[in-house]
Amino acid sequence: MVANNEQKGTLIENIAKFREVGLLGFIIILSVVIQWRNSSFLTLENINDMITNTAILSILAVGMMLVIITRGIDLSIGATLALSGMIAALTVGAFPNLSPILAILLGTLVGLVSGLILGAIISKGGVLPIIATLGMMYIFRGLTFMVSGGQWVSAHQMPESFKGIATGSFLGINNLILIAVLIYVAFYYFINHTRTGRQIYAVGSNPDSAKISGINHDKIIWLVYTIMGGLSGLAGVLWVSKFASAQGDTASGYELTVIAACVLGGVNIAGGSGKISGIILGSVLIGIMNNALPLINVSPFWQTGIQGSIILIAVVLNALVKRGVDMNALMRRRI
């Protein structure tokens, strides 16, 4: 019986592993099909475009993963991104000689503060994440319009050095990709090799036990929303630099794409599990689809619908797999 259980255990683990291999396989097949239909897909230029887009998406997905692991959700990140990007853009517009590094730090700081406030509302104020983040979405969006006076900041108002953040490269690698990889590595270390990182998983996996184990639940919740805010702020600067424009409605609705990337990457919406490798693959897949659908003559107006369907199908499939596993466990019980 014990041997049998062990086998079952590895089988389920295999399913979990299979998800990533399967995702990778799907990405490759999809790429081949798209390339076959339109040969301009796998050109250097297009690939570069895709990867840099995916870089921003995946940075946000890292933060969203942490939030979802704790059984939360953050719908305010599009607005946080816009606010940080706008403030950074306005600042470099006013001080063209400002170092791009400082601009990045400024944007990240704005995001951090936004996240700090949001985290306090959720952890200390006892407001459900969905309600709190909806409310903050409005507040941040409103603030973005107010600081900009409803105006755009366009390409010619930004110094070259600022636009260079997204277009420049270091050792031949695009800065955005470099930053994204740095984030992956840092967070991989954080969530796998530090006590606080593991506590995030513990809180999501079993909040009640976590309290008995002496984990400060509120602190962890506060922390993940603050991290999410900081990453949104960073992404805001990168976004504005890449598209060379800051608007009041920048990245409006982008939080949904980020959630789609997470769910697709195997982050369990019920909390407790999720991996960096998974969300990178999830982000890449979404990045490819957003880029490639127009290339194979799928109207861009289909994108929203397809994205929503992906989220729904992914969460429903996850639920069904979980049910199968539970049923197996029941069958094993001796009666």
Partner 1 sequence: MSEFVLELRGITKTFPGVKALDNVQFQLGPGEIHALMGENGAGKSTFIKVITGVHQPDEGQMFLNGKEVNFKNPTEAQKVGIAAIYQHVTCYPDLSVTENIFMGHEKIQKGTRRIRWKEMHEEANRLLKELGASFDAKTIMGTLSVAQQQMVEIAKALSTNAKIIIMDEPTAALSRNESEDLYRITEKLRDSGTSIIFISHRFEDMYRLASKVTVFRDSKYIGSWGVHDIPNEDLIVAMVGREIKQLFPKVETTIGSEVLRVEGLGKTGFFADVSFSLRKGEILGITGLVGAGRSEVCQAIFGVEPADKGKIFVKGVETTIQTPLQAMNKGIGYLPEDRQQQGLILSWGIDKNITLSSLSLISKKGWMNRKKEDEYANHLSKKVNVKTPNVANLVSSLSGGNQQKVAVAKLLMTGLDIIILDEPTKGVDVGAKSAIYEIISNLAAQGYGVIMVSSEMPEVISMSDRILVMREGRITAEIQAKQATQEAILEAAMASKESTEGQSLEASGL
Partner 2 sequence: MDQVNKKPFSWKGFFLQWEWMLILLFLVVNVINTNLSPFYLDSVGLRDATMTFLDKAFMVFPMVMIMILRDIDISVSSTVALASVVMAHLYTLGVPMELAVVICLAVGAVCGLINGLLIVRFKELSAVIVTLSTMIIYRGIAYIILEDQSAGSFPEWFGFLGWGYIGGVPFILIAFVVMAVLFGLLLHKTTFGRRIYAIGNNPTASRFSGVQVDKIKILVFTLAGVMAAITALFLTSRMGSTRPNVALGYELDVIAMVVLGGISTAGGKGKMIGAIIAVFLIGFLRYGLGLINMPAQVLMIIIGLLLIVAVMVPNLKPKKKAKGKPPKSQDEQIAG
Would you tell me which residues interact with partner 2 (CB under 8 A)? 73, 121, 125-128, 130-132, 134-139, 141-143, 145-146, 150, 248, 256, 259, 269-270, 299, 301-309, 311-312, 315-316, 319, 322-323
Q: Which is nearer to partner 1, 198 or 217 (CB)?
A: 198
- By a kind-dependent CB cut-off of 5 to 8 A, residue 135 interacts, out of partner 2, partner 1, none, with partner 2
Least distance from partner 1 to the Cβ atom of residue 268, Å: 7
Interatomic CA distance for residues 16 and 29, integer angstroms: 20
Least distance from partner 1 to the Cβ atom of residue 22, Å: 19
List the beta bridge partners of residue 153: 246
Least distance from partner 2 to the Cβ atom of residue 174, Å: 30
Interatomic CA distance for residues 239 and 234, integer angstroms: 9
- By a kind-dependent CB cut-off of 5 to 8 A, residue 2 interacts, out of partner 1, partner 2, none, with partner 1
Binding site for partner 1 (CB under 8 A): 1-3, 5-6, 8-9, 12-13, 16, 192-195, 198, 201-202, 204-206, 208-210, 212-215, 268, 272-273, 327, 329-335
User: What Cα–Cα distance (Å) separates residue 37 from each residue in 89, 252, 295?
Assistant: 39, 31, 8
Least distance from partner 2 to the Cβ atom of residue 208, Å: 8
Nearest partner of 103 among 95, 112, 93, 92, judged by Cα: 92
Q: Which is nearer to partner 1, 45 or 208 (CB)?
A: 208
Q: Which is nearer to partner 1, 13 or 160 (CB)?
A: 13
- By a kind-dependent CB cut-off of 5 to 8 A, residue 136 interacts, out of partner 1, partner 2, none, with partner 2
- By a kind-dependent CB cut-off of 5 to 8 A, residue 301 interacts, out of partner 2, partner 1, none, with partner 2
Which pair of structure tokens corresponds to residue 82?
């816009």
Q: Which is nearer to partner 2, 96 or 308 (CB)?
A: 308
Q: Which is nearer to partner 1, 192 or 309 (CB)?
A: 192
Q: Which is nearer to partner 2, 158 or 311 (CB)?
A: 311
Letter for the amino acid at 285?
Answer: L
Least distance from partner 1 to the Cβ atom of residue 212, Å: 5
Q: Which is nearer to partner 1, 304 or 328 (CB)?
A: 328
- By a kind-dependent CB cut-off of 5 to 8 A, residue 141 interacts, out of partner 1, partner 2, none, with partner 2
Residues 75, 73, 23, 324, CA torsion sign: negative
